[in-house]
Amino acid sequence: MKRGGRTVAELAVVACVDYNPTRVREALEELLTRIGGLDWVHPGMRVGIKANLVAAMSPERAATTHPVLIDALAGMLLERGAVPVVGDSPGGLFNAPFLNRVYAASGMQSTRAELNRDFSTREISLPEGRVCKSACVTGWLLDCDGIINFAKLKSHGMMGLSAAAKNLFGSIPGTMKPEYHFRYPNPADFAGMLVDLDEYWKPSLHLVDAVLAMEGNGPTAGTPRAVGYLVGGFNPHKIDLLCAGLVGLDPGTVPTLRAARERGLCPERAEELEIAGDWKAFVTPGFVTISQRNGLQFQNVMGGGKRGALFSRFLSRHIAARPGVEKQACVGCRKCQEICPAKAIVMKNRRPVIDRRACIRCFCCQEFCPKGAMKVRRPPLARLLER
């Protein structure tokens, strides 16, 4: 592809084995050289770095974009005369006291980027959106001259994968996130809403921190896994398709990839992508993912019509992943009950009980449980079909 008058790759993956500042700078320079990543930056530009700052968690827990990477990118932007601003709106209040705790815990205060202090929200129209036609978003991103989406590679309870596409859900104010889960309870609709947001914002660049990724019970309570690379490009869905291939996740089980593929925004397989270098050399064997089957449709098996619809609903109910509590790890803090947009959780004997008829399987309880006591459970029928 042509960018800035020269031929560059649309995607690249480069090695970065740890967060040593010198190695990080070298890896970022190599990555951006391969894709022409900062050719669009000019003096005086205000560039928003949309990091993944999902919670007030230390970098070692692999839930947030690492501050050394943010600092290196900020330095490169400063050298071009731009003003880098880092921010996000994690689940919770979108105000200074809450974000200050997140900035401090995640190490963002140690970077050369300006910390976002604009906590305004605005209504936007998405006339080309297929699922979401309007949204309330964080105002600071609207005032940037360019946006760099710097995501973290993690497994995800609802979407299967958290990388470039999912990261822009952080443009929705934290206290409104449960409302969007309730508005789009079906994983396919929620994924469509995310793709609509991606298409609205159209960041100038997407980067993924996969130096230390998160596997298992992600996106906040999983296990850090050193995988040792950075990914970059200009299409979030192609990046996610590559990331799925790198961690051995079937792209057909990632709702955002299905939604993007239906719109012609990415191909079906990572092998069809234009990637600089041998990406298969970076594949991480045994990476623990959360495989989703919620979006499979089975109507045609029964010849369509009412029988097909009933069969599809039956299988969806009996093979879809769902949240479940690990009682030994639960401390009865009630966070899951407070965050649940469907009000499907009640506390009995200081332990959460989920009303399965009311549960919309948004996995907010699993994402925000401070003790990781909420797990993604796959029913026996789902495990049988997998085999």
Reading the chain (387 residues) residue by residue, the pLDDT tens digits are: 666 666 788 999 999 999 999 999 999 999 999 999 899 999 999 999 999 999 999 999 999 999 999 999 999 999 999 999 999 999 999 999 999 999 999 999 999 999 999 999 999 999 999 999 999 999 999 999 999 999 999 999 999 999 999 999 999 999 999 999 989 988 999 999 999 999 999 999 999 999 999 999 999 999 999 999 999 999 999 999 999 999 999 999 999 999 999 999 999 999 999 999 899 999 999 999 986 654 444 444 444 456 655 655 565 565 677 899 998 999 999 999 998 988 999 999 999 999 988 998 888 998 889 999 999 886 665 555 555
The per-type count for the chain, helices as H runs and strands as E runs, is 13, 17
Burial of 357 (0-12, 13-18, 19+ CB in 10 A): exposed
Q: How far is CA 134 from CA 94, 171, 253, in A?
A: 20, 13, 27
Q: 20, 35, 363: which is closest to 190 by C-alpha?
A: 363
Cα separation, 199 vs 178, whole angstroms: 22
pTM over 0.85: yes
Pair 151, 207: CB distance under 8 Å: yes
Domains of the chain by start residue, with CATH? 2-282 (3.40.50.11440), 299-386 (3.30.70.20)
Give tens-digit pLDDT for 88-127.
Answer: 999 999 999 999 999 999 999 999 999 999 999 999 999 9
Q: How far is CA 164 from CA 115, 116, 195, 281, 330, in A?
A: 21, 20, 11, 21, 31
C-alpha 321: how far from its chain's center?
18
Q: 184, 236, 270: which is closest to 52 by C-alpha?
A: 236
Q: Find the angle CA(272)-CA(273)-CA(277) to the nearest 5 degrees.
A: 120
DSSP H helices, the chain, are 21-35, 67-79, 96-106, 139-142, 164-167, 177-183, 187-201, 236-246, 255-262, 305-319, 335-339, 364-368, 380-386
Cα separation, 161 vs 74, whole angstroms: 26
